[in-house]
Structure 1
Amino acid sequence: MIQAEIKSLLREDISILIKISNSGKHYLCDCGEASLLTVKEIQSVSAIFISHTHIDHFSNFDGIFRHQIGSGEKIVICGPKNIHHQIEARLKSYTWNLIDENAIEYEIREIVSKEEINIYKIHPPHWNLEFVKTQNFLFEDEYVNVDFAILDHKTDSVAYLFKEKDTITFNENASGFRKGKWISELKTAFENNDEDQEIEIEGTACKAADLFYLLTRNLGYRLGVIMDHAVDEENYKKVKAVFNEADLVYIESFYKDSDQEFAKLNYHSFASASGKIMKDCQVKETVPIHFSRRYTESDIIEIETVFYQAFREN
C-alpha cells in the first residue's frame, strides 16, 4: 500500500515522502524544508516530483542531492516546463572536482503537456544536459504509475496522483481444477483483455473468457498530492479528471476563507474551496496542507475546521 508522511514541520515549507509498504522504495513530493526527513530516507528516494519551483517548494533540493551524490544510482526528477534548466543551474553552481562521473545520474522529466514529456539526463562532474527522447507518459515502475494535472498558479503547478498497480486474485474454491501454470496464463489474458486466448487445463482447451469469472481485479490504492493552485473552474475540471474517487488526497489550503482576496491575488486556494473540490471529486479521505506562514496554530485549526466542514457538507 502507498503511504505518505509530511516531513516538514508546521511553519516550514512543504515536503511529503511517499512510501511503498514492504519496500525500500520512496518518492519525494516537493523539496521545501523537511526537518523530519532523515538521511536514510533521502538515500532511499528513487524519484522526486516537483510541483513548481517557487522557493518554498524547491529550496531544499540542494540538501536532497547532497545526500544522494555517491550512490551510483539513477534518480528520476519530474517537474514543470524548464525544470531541466533549473536543475542544471543548481548543480553547476557548485564545484565537483572530487566527484566521479559515475557518482550519480539524474533523469529529468520535463512536463510540457499531458502528452509531451521531455526526457533529459545529467551527471557529474560537468552536469551537461543531454536530451534523450520525448514520451507520452510520466512515470511507472514495478509499484506505481503516476498521473498528473497541470494547474494554474500563475505558473504551471503539477498535481500528482500515485496509483498502485491493480492486483488480480484467483478464486481457487470456485475452479474445481488443480493448480498449474494455466492460472498465470489466465491472469495474463485477463490483463490483456484477450478473451479468445486458449487456456489448457488438464488436457482440455478452454476459452479464456469462459474462465474470467474465476478472477477478481482489486483496484490499487490511489494517493494524490495537489499543491498550489488558483480557485477557478479550469483548474477544477483538471482536478476532477485525475483525482476523482481517489483514496486519499493531500491538497493545499493556503489561506483562511476570510483572506480570499489574498488567495485570488496570489493564485492560491483557501479552506472551504479546497474542501469542496475534494467533496466534488468524491475522494474517500483528504488532508489540508501547506498553510501561509502568516498564520498561528489557532488559524491553522480554523482552516482545518472550515476545510472539513466543506468536505463533509451534505
Structure 2
Amino acid sequence: MLQAEIKSLLKEDISILIKVPNSAKHYVCDCGEASLLTVKEAQAISAIFISHTHIDHFSNFDGIFRHQIGSGEKVVICGPRNIHQQIEARLKSYTWNLIDENAIEYEIREIVSKEEINVYTIRPPYWNLEYVKTQNVLFEDEYVNVDFAILDHKTDSIAYLFKEKDSVTFHENISDFKNGKWISELKTAFENNDPDKEIEIEGTLYKALGLFHLLTRNEGYKLGVIMDHAADEDNYKKIKDVFNHADMVYIETFYKDEDQEFAKMNHHSFASASGKIMKECNVKEAIPIHFSRRYTENDQQEIETAFYKAFRN
C-alpha cells in the first residue's frame, strides 16, 4: 500500500512524499519548504509532481534538485502548462561550469490537456530544452500509474491520483498441485486475459481458464492529492471523474468556513466544501491539508472539525 507523509510543518509551504512499500523509490507532490524532508528521501525521489507554480508550491524545487545533482539518474517532472520553461529558467539561473553532462537528466511532462502531454528533456551543463514527443499518458512505472484532473485556481492546478498496479494472489490452500513456475505462468495468463493459454503442471497440460479459480485479483490502492482549487461545480465535476472511490485523498482546505469569502476571492477551497466533495466522491479516507498561514493550531483544529463533519455526516 502506498504511504504518504506530509513533510511540511504547520506554518510551512506544502510538500507530500509518497513512498512505495518494499522499494527505495519515492515520489513527491509539490515542492514547498518541507523541513521534514531528509537528504536521503530527496535523493530517492524518482518523480516530482507539481500542482502549480505559485511560490508556496514550487519554492523548494531547488533544494530537492540540490540533493539530486550528481546522481546520474533520470528524474521525471510532471506539471501544468509552461512547467518546462519554468524549470529551464530555474536551472539556467545558476553557474554549472563544474558539472558533467551526465550528472542528471530531467524529463519534463507538460500537461496541456487530458489528451495532450508534451515531453521534454533537459541536461547539464547548458540546460537546453529538447522536445521529445506528445503523448496522452502522464506517468506509469512498474509500481503505479498516475491519473490527473486539471482544476481552476485562476491558473491550472493539477490534482493527481496515484494508483498501485493490481496484484494477483495465488491460493495455495485450495490447490492440489505442487508449487512451481507454473504459478507465475498462470498469473501472466490471468493478467493478460488469456484463458486458452496451456499451463503444464507435473507433466500434464491444462487450460488456464480451468485454473483461474486459484487466483484473485487485488485492486491497487488509490491515493490522491488535490491541491489549490476554487470551490465551484466545474472543479467538482472534474474531481468526481478522477477521484471517485479513492482509498485516501489529501485535499486542500485553505480557509475556515467563516472565511469562505476569502476563499471565493482567492480561488481556494474551505473546510466544509472540501469535506463535502470528498463525501460525494465516496472516498474511504480524506485528510484536509494546506491551511492558510494566518491560522493558529486552534484554527487548524476548527478547520478539521468542520471538514470531518461535512465528510462523515
Q: Structure 2: which amino acid aligns with 1:212? A: F
Counterpart of 2:159, as a letter, is A
Mapped partners of 2:62, 2:178: distance in 1: 56
> How far apart, in 2, do the equivalents of 1:199 and 1:233 lie?
52
Q: Please state if 1:310 is matched with 2:310.
A: yes
1:74-223 matched pairs, under 5 angstroms: 74-223=74-223
The one-letter code sitting in structure 2 at the alignment partner of 1:232 is D
Q: What does residue range 255-266 of structure 1 map to in structure 2 within 5 Å?
A: 255-266=255-266
Residue 271 of structure 1 pairs with residue 290 of structure 2: no
- Determine the C-alpha separation between the residues in 2 that align with 1:97 and 1:264: 47
Secondary structure at the aligned position of 1:13 is classed as coil
Letter in 1 for 2:13: D
Distance 2:182 2:103 in 1: 45
Task: Give the letter aligned to residue 141 of structure 2.
Answer: D
Q: 1:207: Cα distance to partner?
A: 2.4
Question: Matches of 1:239 and 1:205 in 2, distance apart?
Answer: 48
The residue number in structure 1 matching 2:20 is: 20
Q: Aligned-pair distance for 1:103? A: 0.8
Alignment partners' CA distance in 2, 1:233 and 1:188: 42
User: CA separation in 2, counterparts of 1:62 and 1:46?
Assistant: 15
Distance of 2:195 and 2:263 partners within structure 1: 52
Q: Which residue of 1 aligns with 2:283?
A: 283
Quick one: distance in 1 between partners of 2:133 and 2:86? Answer: 19
1:112 Cα offset (Å): 1.3
Residues 216-241 of structure 1: CA deviation (Å, up to 9, x unaligned): 01122211110001111221111112
Which stretch of structure 1 is more off in the superposition, 41-50 or 111-120? Answer: 111-120
**Normalising by the residue count of structure 1, what TM-score does the alignment of the two structures yield?**
0.97
Query: Is it true that 1:59 corresponds to 2:56 in the alignment?
Result: no
For residues 210 and 114 of structure 1, what CA distance do their matches in structure 2 show?
40
- The aligned counterpart of 2:246 is 246
Q: Distance in 2 between matches of 1:80 and 1:57?
A: 12
Runs of 5+ unmatched residues, structure 2: none
What code does the residue aligned with 2:221 have? Y
Displacement of 1:301 in angstroms is 1.0
**Residue 11 of structure 1: aligned partner:** 11
CA distance in 1, matches of 2:15, 2:244: 23
Q: Offset at 1:22? A: 2.1
**SS of the residue 2:189 aligns to:** helix
Letter in 1 for 2:305: T
Shift of 1:199: 2.4
With structure 2 as the length reference, what TM-score do the two structures score? 0.97
CA distance in 2, matches of 1:39, 1:180: 42
- CA-CA distance at 1:284 after TM superposition: 1.2
CA displacement 1:157-212 (0-9 Å, x = unmatched): 11111111111011122222222322222111111112222323334333222221
Paired residue secondary structure (1:230): coil
Q: Single out whichever of 178-187 and 120-129 deviates more from structure 2.
A: 178-187
Shift of 1:310: 0.5
Within 2, Cα distance between the matches of 1:83 and 1:299?
A: 34
1:81 maps to a residue whose letter is R
**How far apart are 1:13 and its partner, in Å?**
0.7
CA distance in 2, matches of 1:143, 1:54: 29
What residue ranges of structure 1 are gaps of 5+ in the alignment? Answer: none
Matching residue of 1:235: 235
d(CA) in 2 for partners of 1:182, 1:23: 26
Cα distance between partner residues in 2 of 1:179 and 1:19: 32
Letter in 1 for 2:236: Y
Distance 2:267 2:244 in 1: 22
Secondary structure of the residue aligned to 2:255 is coil
* Residue 47 (structure 1) aligns with: 47
Percent of aligned pairs sharing the same letter: 82
Q: How many angstroms apart in 2 are the aligned matches of 1:128 and 1:149?
A: 29
Moved more, 145-154 or 198-207: 198-207
1:115 and 1:296 map into 2 onto residues whose CA distance is 41
1:29 aligns with 2:22: no
